[in-house]
Structure 1
């Protein structure tokens, strides 16, 4: 295509503004590239901004070797045992060997700061699994460092915030959830930090104390600013331009006008998955078809995936997602994933006929998959019900229900989905379940929970189960009987926090075509690509860690830098 046909020119065009996309932009700029970053919505940060911002990096140099020993071989063994043979060894090795290097790079060359934390792998009992220090948490940041850009940063998902609006770190959240000694001091500190920020309270309910994904994206944005890279917001990828074997640029809609953007070295697609696209979801996620069940942000409609398929790219595992049981609150932008509440003692999950069918304390990905795989005509699990008693209701949160806060103080939308009764027989009637079946289920669970046992699903037997248990409850931090009225129920659905099937890529994040050859000039990372983790979820940060690692590798390969 002749030069005069292009409206704008760059070396690297980055589509998306999540953690992987912004990492690739920084690495490309540091290698001398002119970089253009486009973001579909009015807010930057993508799914990363709404998340905890954790990255899963095995064999990290930030992990203290005195308390944690790890190796690439152990990480490969662990991932290999989970990926069901669906991921090429080359891809797994590319991630494992380069993830620590990527983390070193961003912590030294940018404003990004991480700390290794004692967060257990989701399947630590498997060969190569670890009880901690592969997951890394971003350090908090005062949002005033962003200036006016703070209002353009996508907010954390309310499920990761106190009362849905107040930022808290993992160190603050843990004692509050378990009501450990001194928890009230932490609560007072959080409330004071939020409400005494008078200037911000007069402007916005948004918390200026940035944690998790907000802190990571803010730090990456500050690093972009220092390199003179802007994020073009309200800029939508319309189509990719392929000239023979090479992707040479893209058509981008900015402010209602179409522009042909020449990308002389690469187009890097880091625009998230397709979980909020009703058509793509109906075609591919056939056991979880409703976009309203997703905890993913509303702009993840698969634009980059569709554009790549139109120029001959290959997609794989489109039936896969980062599954999670979710609560749908009418009027909320996205569903409320139940990340940790299921592990707390005094609750159970039942199907539509009143039977338990899963270890409630397993990882959200495992529970979400079980909700679909055990959804049978004679015993539907979509929706299921999560049950808990008055003791749980007072002590612990359950999705949008806050402990110690009476129902009437919650929003009407939340109140409308809560079922509250004074007996299990009344609960059975409200849920249209046989009274005898529900009573048998609850009595059986309660009998064993008194001894700290779950002979049916072994809740509390694995390290991950216990991570989110209440350490004050013995002998099993995940088990208490449900025996104190009133009793509660909330409907839960087989949802997700994003899709993880997508464009097929190689170890350099190059997009592969339908003949198995790399498409020159086209790269895909994050949830736009098929995950290096296959259909599995090894640990906290197993989405953003690979996204940033392959963003790093994509930019280096595009700029001709060897691994």
Structure 2
């Protein structure tokens, strides 16, 4: 294939990649996007689609007060010096500009007024309003042909594995709001009555979460005229004599092709969680690629290695966006357990049958606690989430819908002793899953007592606004329920992730830095391909997608020779 030339080449097709490509094309830069997989959307298509945007445009409508200095202080405390202050400030200043741009290109967001920042104990945290959720998207606006090129969402995030449900509806259902039953009935009626659409495709017309975001971005990319190629893996970066990155070598139909880039190359190809060799090299042990919740055909660190080959510096390589995961047969990837573990009436135990964490806490800390518990010899990998018949009847857990809707007799027979374990007594259950029976009985007794008193004396579960978001507000403590009524159930949890957060170190314009701290000219990097601006933390829901798109937005400005200046540089010298 003959050499071709563009102004910008974007590697990857998740949210950061697509927004960067759209913005560049609209700014007059001829842009090519190349994707390794056969479908566009990356891990972003499987995500909840949320973005963490402090001081955002929708807060005023909701009556939420926020300010840049408070947000900067909170994020800086979360980051703990593992990202430079100017990058943190650049993010806080630019995030809302990026969100406004999303709205301009047809992807409006709304503030989640009750969804708290992940660390309520850190000064500057807000009890809600910084995380934003995408407005539902009508798939017909993308079109059936383009829809076929887009990665499907996770069945675990859909009602009965088929119908889209957004974050507001999910919260209403899980917190047992009175309106939730009507909401669910409405969703089902709209889906089943939409014969014209369902006769054309199995995909729901109404798209929510990450599906809404990616569908909206693909529609905007098509409208802007971005050229996009799938099945085009990156092989290496091309440099000129001065060391500037001037293009890429990709594989097309089994042949190598060089494509030149006049303004730059933007790497946005995700993390390395599907590469076992890199996991063994960098991540805490034990670590297995199959435990991850991300697509099986991507996130193999190709762009990390390509960046290293041109001298890029790596940072935060031993950190990940951790989440406990569950193996569900016939699902392509392990399923992340984000919210169910917060519901009252369940607990998580180690091999000794003992609780070792706050089940309702942020999922990265949950994963880290599993690894730490295992390292101490207590059997935290796998861990077990345990609940009783009362919980089973009322609540979902992983692939199990509430027993009142789908009783055990209707579950796949192959799931018993594979996806879930069941015992008439706690002793019976403990024997089946290989945990200490006395420890399990004692943990259940304590949990029942804590539910009655409303206070978790061990881990203070339900003791903060973040914990309580996914709980039952009718209870003394929304996150605590008894575990006393047989039969009893257990499901196995693994220390998975929704991506690695280590990658190429960048500056505040998303320019890649070399091992000496100098800019690698012509090379930009965003998303999980880059070292996260969040450092070791997860400031709030949307801390992956928000920075990915925000730094792509800033990178395009830099390519145009119009870098976005810091508007409040005085904050950099202020004690936090």
What is the CA–CA distance in structure 1 between the aligned matches of 2:64 and 2:378, rounded to whole Å? 44
Give the corresponding residue for 2:570.
none
Work out whether 1:91 is the aligned partner of 2:87: yes
Give the corresponding residue for 2:447.
445
5+ residue gaps, structure 2, are 565-576
Match of 1:521, SS state, is strand
Give the corresponding residue for 2:391.
392
How far is the alpha carbon of 1:407 from its aligned partner? 2.8
What is the CA–CA distance in structure 2 between the aligned matches of 1:196 and 1:256, rounded to whole Å? 45
Give the corresponding residue for 2:535.
534
Q: CA separation of 1:203/1:411 partners in 2, compared to 1, >3 Å: closer, same or farther?
A: farther
Match of 1:160 among 157, 160, 165: 157
Greater shift, 288-297 or 263-272, is seen at: 288-297
Q: How does 1:391-430 map to 2 (within 5 A)?
A: 391-403=390-402, 404-412=405-413, 414-415=415-416, 416-430=418-432
What is the CA–CA distance in structure 1 between the aligned matches of 2:375 and 2:446, rounded to whole Å? 23
Matched length: 557
What is the CA–CA distance in structure 2 between the aligned matches of 1:468 and 1:388, rounded to whole Å? 17
How far is the alpha carbon of 1:287 from its aligned partner? 2.1
How far is the alpha carbon of 1:413 from its aligned partner? 5.2
- Residues 351 and 436, structure 2, Cα contact 8 Å, conserved in 1: no
Give the corresponding residue for 1:112.
107
- Residues 266 and 525, structure 2, Cα contact 8 Å, conserved in 1: yes
Match of 1:186, SS state, is helix
- Residues 99 and 549, structure 1, Cα contact 8 Å, conserved in 2: yes
How far is the alpha carbon of 1:270 from its aligned partner? 0.7
What is the CA–CA distance in structure 1 between the aligned matches of 2:23 and 2:188, rounded to whole Å? 39
Match of 2:63 among 42, 67, 79: 67
Match of 1:235, SS state, is coil
How far is the alpha carbon of 1:412 from its aligned partner? 4.9
- Residues 329 and 413, structure 1, Cα contact 8 Å, conserved in 2: no
Match of 2:142, SS state, is helix
Greater shift, 372-381 or 511-520, is seen at: 372-381
- Residues 425 and 488, structure 2, Cα contact 8 Å, conserved in 1: yes
Give the corresponding residue for 2:572.
none
Q: How does 1:29-68 map to 2 (within 5 A)?
A: 29-64=25-60, 67-68=63-64
Greater shift, 474-483 or 444-453, is seen at: 444-453
Q: How does 1:233-312 map to 2 (within 5 A)?
A: 233-243=230-240, 244-298=242-296, 299-312=298-311
What is the CA–CA distance in structure 1 between the aligned matches of 2:255 and 2:62, rounded to whole Å? 57
How far is the alpha carbon of 1:293 from its aligned partner? 0.8
**RMSD of the alignment, in Å?**
1.6
Give the corresponding residue for 1:329.
328
Match of 1:492, SS state, is strand
What is the CA–CA distance in structure 2 between the aligned matches of 1:355 and 1:427, rounded to whole Å? 14
Work out whether 1:231 is the aligned partner of 2:228: yes
Match of 1:450, SS state, is helix
What is the CA–CA distance in structure 2 between the aligned matches of 1:471 and 1:523, rounded to whole Å? 46
- Residues 174 and 471, structure 2, Cα contact 8 Å, conserved in 1: no
How far is the alpha carbon of 1:230 from its aligned partner? 2.8
Q: Normalization by structure 2: what TM-score?
A: 0.94
What is the CA–CA distance in structure 2 between the aligned matches of 1:492 and 1:405, rounded to whole Å? 22
How far is the alpha carbon of 1:279 from its aligned partner? 1.0
5+ residue gaps, structure 1, are none
Give the corresponding residue for 1:369.
368
